[in-house]
Amino acid sequence: MRGLAVFNNLSLDGYIADESGDMSWAHKQDPEWLAFTSENASGEAELVFGRVTYDLMAGWWPTPQARESLPDVARRMNALPKVVFSRTLEKASWQNTRLVKGDLPAEMRRLKAECGPDMVIMGSGSIVSQLTDAGLVDEYQVVVHGLVLGRGKKMFDVREKTPLALKKSRVFGNGNVVLWYEPAR
């Protein structure tokens, strides 16, 4: 069975985006952080998005600006297989993307049972919440940034408490802290 991980940037007060959906605050350009993000993007995975995050990613990574600013990450983001969950999209035009419209937990169970690389959800708070409630997320990778947004989009809006166990952590010179959690069993 394929694994399902979440990778999200989080403000210190718990938001994955500000009120307007902006995440530019999460992109620090120092050598240590760039090396980590390039290394993280070098693995094999199938990326999973909700419609809003898909629109943001598909609007950035195929552009010349993305290829100039983060060439290794842009190359991988464009090449990796992707799944977008949406009830409103008619088609997904970003290369290597398949559109899934069915019941989210049922479709994710089906995807996890397929052969292929592990999957990573990026952004997509509503999908993260639904799949957390369904017990389908195997790992949470959370990058905590030393920034307070005050308001914005939360990472979780779950129905029940979900205990997690810290697997490891890493502190960066720019103030970012990456935390890896798995469901406490």
Assess whether pLDDT exceeds 80 at residue 122: yes
Pairing of β 139-145 and β 82-85? unpaired
Instruction: Tell me how far apart the alpha carbons of residues 52 and 57 are, in angstroms, rounded to a whole number.
Output: 9
Contact call for residues 141 and 5 (beta carbons, < 8 A)? yes
pLDDT band of residue 182 (cuts 50, 70, 90) is very high
Note the pLDDT of residue 27: 79
- pLDDT-wise least confident of 4-8, 25-29, 31-35, 180-184: 25-29
Q: What mean pLDDT comes out for the span 9-26?
A: 91
Instruction: Tell me how far apart the alpha carbons of residues 62 and 97 are, in angstroms, rounded to a whole number.
Output: 13
Neighbours of 109 (CB within 10 A): 14
**Which of 122, 131, 95 lies closest to 37, judged by CA?**
122
61-73 confidence digits (pLDDT tens):
999 999 998 888 8
Predicted structure pTM score: 0.91
Assess whether pLDDT exceeds 90 at residue 144: yes
SS3 for 2? Answer: coil
Q: What mean pLDDT comes out for the span 74-92?
A: 94
> What tokens does 84 get?
């977008």
Number of alpha helices (DSSP H) and beta strands (DSSP E) in the chain? 6, 10
Domain boundaries, the chain: 1-7+48-137
Note the pLDDT of residue 36: 87
Instruction: Tell me how far apart the alpha carbons of residues 5 and 73 are, in angstroms, rounded to a whole number.
Output: 18
| Beta bridge pairs of residue 122 | 7
Assess whether pLDDT exceeds 90 at residue 51: yes
Angle at 30 between CA 96 and CA 51, to 5 degrees: 30
Note the pLDDT of residue 73: 84
The per-residue pLDDT of the chain, averaged, comes to 92
Assess whether pLDDT exceeds 80 at residue 89: yes
| Homologous superfamily of the 1-7+48-137 domain (CATH) | Dihydrofolate Reductase, subunit A (3.40.430.10)
